[in-house]
Amino acid sequence: MTVPFFDITRQNDSLRKEIDAAVSRVIDKGRFILGENVTLLEKEFAAYCGTKFAVGVASGTDALHLALRACGVKEGDEVLTTPFTFVATAEAIAYCGATPVFIDIEPKTFNIDPARIKEKITKKTRAILPVHLYGLASDLGAIGDIAREHGLKLIEDCAQAAGAEADGRKVGGFGEAGCFSFFPTKNLGCFGDGGLVTTNDEKIADEIRILRGHGSRKTYHYDLIGYNSRLDELQAAVLRVKLPHLDGLITSRQKKASIYYKHLKNLSDIVLPHEPAGHKHTYNQYTIRTERRDDLFEFLKMKSIGSMVYYPLSLHLQKAFAGLKHSAGAFPQSEKAQAEVISLPIFPELTDQEAEDACHAIASYFER
């Protein structure tokens, strides 16, 4: 019984003919930088998210960085975000010379707790950067209300949440900008690094286009110190093949999640993922929590069942952010989560039997 945590080759095999044809067309045309596939993907992804604009960039990290810059975040500013996330969220804030101000998470959703936001707002606060962790949208209604009340920019970290919804709307269009990653393990993944920013603000879209191309509006004329952060044409071609399948791929993930729920719901030693009313969880990860996480992780490894820990050390305790002078105990919910979370195998092509095998292994562990 071997259950892989993730196997991208299964999806690639099922789309092989479409992908080969799309890549071949790019090669035949010989346009590899900012070609028609990037332009068309931007239009198609904006339509999918319900936004007016989308701008492709080189990675999810760059999407965050350039969106923050385009929204006016600069040196000396503060941006409110969560400590329980991938490092890129806070890293991008630091790239702007701004300070990430951490706010603890809700224990059920793992997302930033809106009830704790107002107490952290100061004269230096310029934006709120919620993360839709594991594929579940944050409480965007409450967060949006706070942002509007205090005149703050709302920038969504949608890296793990392409296709996720809150109140019937897809993430990426609730604030000034939505930042997506197309890393291969994501719900919508390419064959390397890739990212994109969605927005309804034409000025923000234009600023990101300039920033991604070395600060240039006109060839060899530079208005800003920009970056080399262009979404690759080959990656855009791959993403255009996959985008029409995205909703179906998410449905498949949800079906696997229902198998986990069916077989694990009666185990008192674990807490299953929470899906608030009005939300569509895309299950980029299927993350449970248990006080016996480390032992369970080793047991599953012994049984050849894939699993991962996202994330074992919250950002406020990382050496890279030691300058913020946080100590253990500063964000108790985040620290409790880091000790308890474990993500189980979930991807669209995971078979029902593999999901059930993983459940049986987990059940056998707790029955010991």
pLDDT digits (tens, 9 = 90+) for 234-259: 999 999 999 999 999 999 999 999 99
Is the pLDDT at 368 greater than 90, yes or no?
Answer: no
Contact yes or no for 334/314 (Cβ under 8 A):
yes
CA atoms within 13 A on the CB side of 327: 0
d(CA 39, CA 233): 9
Residues of the chain with CATH 3.40.640.10: 8-102+112-244
Average pLDDT, the chain: 97
- Provide mean pLDDT across the span 200-206: 98
Segment 337-360 shows an average pLDDT of: 98
| Cα Rg of the chain, angstroms | 21
Residue 86 confidence (pLDDT): 98
List C-alpha distances in Å: 263 to 22, 134, 250, 283, 352: 41, 21, 20, 17, 12
Q: Is the torsion defined by CA of 50, 232, 84, 6 positive or negative? A: positive
Rounded to whole angstroms, the Cα distance separating 253 from 226 reads 38
Q: What percent of the chain has pLDDT over 70?
A: 100
CB-CB neighbours of 302 under 10 Å = 10
Token pair listed for 308? 């991962």
Q: How far is CA 31 from CA 16, 200, 212, 318, in A?
A: 22, 28, 18, 42
pLDDT at residue 200, rounded to an integer? 98
**How far is Cα 268 from Cα 52, in angstroms, rounded to an integer?**
46
Class of domain 8-102+112-244: alpha beta
Residue 197 has a pLDDT of 98
pLDDT in tens, 285-334: 999 999 999 999 999 999 999 999 999 999 999 999 999 999 999 999 99
What kind and span of H or E run contains 180? strand 177-181
DSSP string spanning 333-357? HHHHHHHHEEEEP--TT--HHHHHH
Which of the 8 DSSP states describes residue 284?
Answer: S
Q: Which helix or strand (DSSP H or E) is residue 243 part of?
A: none
- According to CATH, where is 3.90.1150.10 located in the chain? 246-367
Dump pLDDT digits (tens) for 125-144: 999 999 999 999 999 999 99
The 10s digit of each residue's pLDDT in 153-181 is: 999 999 999 999 999 999 999 999 999 99
Taking CA atoms, 215 is separated from 173, 229, 275, 287, in Å, by 25, 11, 41, 40
Both tokens assigned to 344: 């189980």
- Is the predicted pLDDT of residue 36 greater than 90, yes or no? yes
| pLDDT for the residue numbered 63 | 98
pLDDT score, position 354:
98
Confidence (pLDDT) at 194: 98
Architecture of domain 246-367: Alpha-Beta Complex (3.90)
Band the pLDDT of 1: cuts 50, 70, 90. Answer: confident
